[in-house]
Each structure stands twice: as structure tokens, then as C-alpha cells.
Structure 1
Amino acid sequence: MMVTMATPLLLALLVGALPSRAFGEGACLQDGKHKTTPSAEPQLTECSLYADNACCTVEDVQDIAHVPALSNKNAPWDHCGHLSSTCEVFLKRVSCFYRCSPDAARWPHPRRRSYIQAVPLCHSFCRDWFDACRMDLTCARNWARDPRGHNCTGTCVQYQQVG
């Protein structure tokens, strides 16, 4: 159950507008929110993993410093209150991957230009992510189909209860 809970969440979080062409090495997502090609961003403290080769700028990730600020970007993470710090770390990590990693462009969805599909994940990452967020509250019942929380009923449940 842990993998099935975390995997749809990751795929939903990696939503972005993609052009129909496939990406090669050294490309960024072409959705108007990423740089055309990755380059160094030495001042990138949030998402620092990508500072040497980033598809984002410091300005692009300012709102990741505190995940609930992402609700302004149509993410439902704070509809049910603040997240635990351990869960927030995982959501930031996934957000940084989508916004800053040149590797994110390797997995375009074949029919939905605004999605990434089939990003390979380690079982241990999914397990650790689920364990970190299991007690946090969410109102999204299916993060893969409703990444923006439009179908939230107002009833918040723990991540571990969503199924």
C-alpha cells in the first residue's frame, strides 16, 4: 500500500506543461516556467541539489521555502492545515525535481502535454515518503487525477487513510 499511496502523489506533483517533442540531454521542460537549457545557479539555496545544473532560477523556487505557500500555485497541500516538517521535506524535494532538474524532461506523458509519466522511483523512497506523511492530513482522494485539489470535499483525512 505504501508504494501505491506515494507513487500517484509523486506523479501528480510532477505535473507540468510539456511540448510534444521528446527531450534529450541538456533540456528543460518547455512550459514557460523553466529555463530553455540548464545552467549553474550558485545562489540556489532552496533546491540546492540542482545548483550546478538547474532548469530553474532562485526566483522560480522562492515559494518552495514554505510548502503551504504553494497553495497559490494550485497545490492542495495546506487545505487541511500545516504539514509535519518530515512530510514537507519530501514535498519540497519533489517540487525541486519538477522545477529544477534537467532530468524531469525525460518522462513526458504521450497524450497529455502537461504531465510527466512513469518517472522511476525507488521503493525505499516511496516507503520513506509515505512514512513521513502518513499522519498528515489531506483532502485529495486521488492525487494522480486531482493534483490541484478541485474535488476536495472539505473532509480531511490522514494520508494513510486515503485509498
Structure 2
Amino acid sequence: MARLVTTQLLLLLAWVIAWGAQPTASRARTELLDVCMDAKHHKEKPSPEDKLHEQCSPWKKKACCSTNTSQEAHKDISYLYRFNWDHCGKMEPACKRHFIQDTCLYECSPNLGPWIQQVDQSWRKERILDVPLCKDNCQRWWEDCRTSHTCKSNWHKGWDWTSGVNRCPAGATCRTFESYFPTPAALCEGLWSHSYKVSNYSSGSGRCIQMWFDPDQGNPNEEVARFYASARTSGAVPCGVGALPLSLILVLPLWLLG
């Protein structure tokens, strides 16, 4: 038994080293805390916005979005991206609320620095990748959207934009969300090309990003960003392992990281 465990750990270590040797996209600048993405509607630096609209209001003390952006985030088809949530009929209000929160987090949060990656896209130079979304947030999103309808499992690409707004591509069939996203992870991770990665942690743990929070209780995502930024920059992991996803680093045997 001991020999088997040793063999498995050695195989894991070899895989870790091989992974670490692979090239990975990295943020050009070194700041990971209190930063805004270089994207279509983001401000250059976070600052107070006293009049952020409704579901974007938790970020008013320190926001990467403007008041106008927060207002547009609540419209069915806004100038932000001309994206129609109701492309397969009217989306349930409870479901749409999650998409508005998702938009507010993306546009307004200054706490996504550890997951910002460079991209070569016409409309933005940076994106987020594998943000550890609290599992209870993802579960509620999925449950509230199960009976709404869509025609695609990846909303980042493949739409018909000939009318100026997104329409289902030829041959795509409108079915329930549950048909395209059979599990919460399928929704939260697949919807925006892995912008999110479902965490094993829940809201309030200090180890996962909350899509929404009570601003009167402070911003819990600040602690989360500090934790992951520290893990990426502390040098506590061997060469190569630092390129691993944080979700994997956190479950590796401690002796591999010593």
C-alpha cells in the first residue's frame, strides 16, 4: 500500500513539473489588487461611484465601472454588447437577475486581478479566466435558470450578429437551460469560456469570489483577492508549480509545495 501511494505521488509530481513547463498566458503588469481590466467599458483605475445602479451598487465605494455602465447592465439589450438575454423567448426574472449580477461583477469589480489574462481580441486586451466562483452562487444561478431557454452552451462565440444583436445560429434549437447545462458547473464554467471555475468553497469562506454581497458588511472579495494574489507571488511553491491553477495548488500534498 505504501509503495502504491509513493508511486502515485511521484506520478503526480512528474505531472506537476510537466504542467509547470507549459507556456501560460500571464498578466503583463504586476499589480493584482485593486485593478481594472483593460477591456471595452472598464475605467483605467477603480474609484468611488456613488450612484451605481441597483445590482451594481455593492461596488460603489471602489468600482471599475461608471454609473452609466451600471445602468446599461440592467437593460435587456444595452449598448454595452448588444446582447439579447431573451434570444429564446422571455428569460425568467429570477434567472436574468443572475446575469445582471454577473455583468456587474465583470464590469465593476476591482478584485479580479489574480485571474486577469492577456488576450488578443478587437474589443478588449484582457479577460478573466478561472475565477473561483462560490459554489452556492453557481448552484443558485443554475437552479433559477433551469426552466429558461437558450440555444447555445457557450455564449462567447458562434452567434448570428447580422441583425445587430445576437440571434441563434442556423440549426441551433431553443431548449431549456438544463438541456444545454446539465450541471451547475456546466453553466458557470462553460457559459463564458471558463471565465469562472466553480469553487469547492461557499460564500463567506474567504476563498471564493461572491457574485453579489451586502455592501454594508464590506466587500468579501477583497480578502479573496489578497489570498490568491499572495499565493501567486509568495514564492512558496517550487519553480513551475506557480503556473498551476490555484485550485490544484490548494489540494497538492504539502510536501510537494514545501
The offset of 1:116, in angstroms, is 1.3
If asked which structure has higher relative contact order (CA below 8 Å, sep 6+), I would say 1
Q: Output the TM-score relative to the length of structure 2.
A: 0.49
Segments of structure 2 that go 5 or more residues without pairing to the other structure are 1-25, 161-167, 182-258
Alpha-carbon offset, residue 25 of structure 1: 1.6
Q: Which of the pair has more CA radius of gyration?
A: 2
1:157 equivalent in structure 2? 175
Q: Which residue of 2 aligns with 1:36?
A: 44
Preserved contact between residue 117 and residue 127 of structure 2 (Cα < 8 Å): yes
CA drift at 1:99: 0.4
1:79 Cα deviation from its structure 2 partner = 1.2
Whole-angstrom distance in 2 between the partners of 1:136 and 1:157: 8
Match of 1:119, as an amino acid? V
- In structure 2, C-alpha distance between the alignment counterparts of 1:36 and 1:25, rounded to whole Å: 14
Are the aligned partners of 1:141 and 1:152 in contact in 2 as well (CA < 8 Å)? no
CA distance in 1 between counterparts of 2:79 and 2:150 reads 13
Conserved in 2, the CA contact under 8 Å of 1:41 and 1:51?
Answer: yes
Per-residue CA deviation, residues 84-106 of structure 1 (Å, 9 max, x unaligned), is 11001100111000000001333
Determine the C-alpha separation between the residues in 2 that align with 1:155 and 1:42.
Answer: 43
The answer to whether structure 1 residue 115 and structure 2 residue 142 are counterparts is no
1:57 maps to what in 2?
66
Amino acid of the residue matched to residue 63 of structure 1?
Answer: E
The residue number in structure 2 matching 1:84 is: 92
Mapped to 2, the partners of 1:116 and 1:33 lie a distance apart of: 14
* 2:229 equivalent in structure 1: none
Report the AA paired with residue 131 of structure 2: V
Q: What RMSD, in angstroms, separates the aligned Cα atoms of the two structures? A: 2.6
1:127 aligns with 2:139: yes
List alignment gaps of at least 5 residues for structure 1: 1-17
Name the SS of the counterpart of 1:160 in structure 2: helix
SS at match of 1:103: coil
Looking at secondary structure, tell me which structure has more strand per residue: 2
Q: How many residues align?
A: 143
Mapped to 1, the partners of 2:107 and 2:73 lie a distance apart of 10
TM-score for the superposition, normalised by structure 1: 0.74
Residues 69 and 32 of structure 1: CA distance in aligned 2, closer, same or farther (over 3 Å): closer
- Residues 131-155 of structure 1 deviation map (CA, whole Å, 9 limit, x = unaligned): 0001001111333x63x63463452
Whole-Å Cα distance in 2 between the matches of residues 114 and 79 of structure 1?
A: 27
Structure 1 window deviating more from structure 2 (55-64 vs 23-32): it is: 23-32
Q: Residue 209 of structure 2 corresponds to which residue in structure 1? A: none
Q: Distance in 2 between matches of 1:140 and 1:22?
A: 36
Whether the 8 Å CA contact 2:35–2:112 is kept in 1: the answer is no
